[in-house]
């Protein structure tokens, strides 16, 4: 497969290869495709399911059923991230 890149992306690839961040163009493409695949997976998560799970988690925290502060902090981070992304709206 041959890929044509605009000059600015070609320069970026060359710079990354020179800096030894990647061993080859193939590695860069492979990693880039993995990132795109993960992004698409995240996009396809049903936001209403996430919202429901978040509500359950927050209610457990309020009732003192979750005593692990790391879990509590992570739930708060997720809630903040969802709100910042606009997922606080009904879908």
**Domains in the chain: boundaries:** 7-43, 47-84
Distance CA 16, CA 28 (A): 9
pTM of this structure: 0.49
Residue 88: both structure tokens together: 């606080």
Using only the alpha carbons of the chain, give its radius of gyration: 20
Task: Kindly give, in sequence order, each residue whose CB lies less than 8 Å from that of residue 31, ignoring residues fewer than 6 positions away.
Answer: 22
Per-residue confidence (pLDDT) for residue 55, from 0 to 100:
87
* pLDDT tens-digit profile, the chain (91 residues): 888 999 999 999 999 999 988 999 999 999 999 999 988 887 777 777 788 888 888 888 778 776 667 777 787 888 888 878 876 655 4
Per-residue confidence (pLDDT) for residue 91, from 0 to 100:
46
Nearest 5 degrees, angle CA 81-CA 78-CA 87?
A: 50
Per-residue confidence (pLDDT) for residue 88, from 0 to 100:
60
CB 22 within 8 A of CB 28: yes
Per-residue confidence (pLDDT) for residue 6, from 0 to 100:
95
């Amino acid at each position: 497969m041959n890929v044509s890149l605009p000059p600015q992306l070609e320069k970026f690839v060359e710079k990354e290869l020179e800096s030894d961040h990647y061993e080859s163009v193939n590695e860069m493409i492979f990693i880039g495709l993995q990132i795109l695949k993960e992004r698409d997976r995240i996009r396809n998560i049903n936001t209403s399911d996430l919202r429901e799970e978040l509500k359950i988690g927050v209610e457990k925290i309020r009732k003192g059923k979750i005593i692990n502060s790391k879990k509590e902090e992570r739930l708060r981070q997720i809630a903040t991230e969802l709100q910042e992304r606009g997922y606080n709206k009904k879908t």
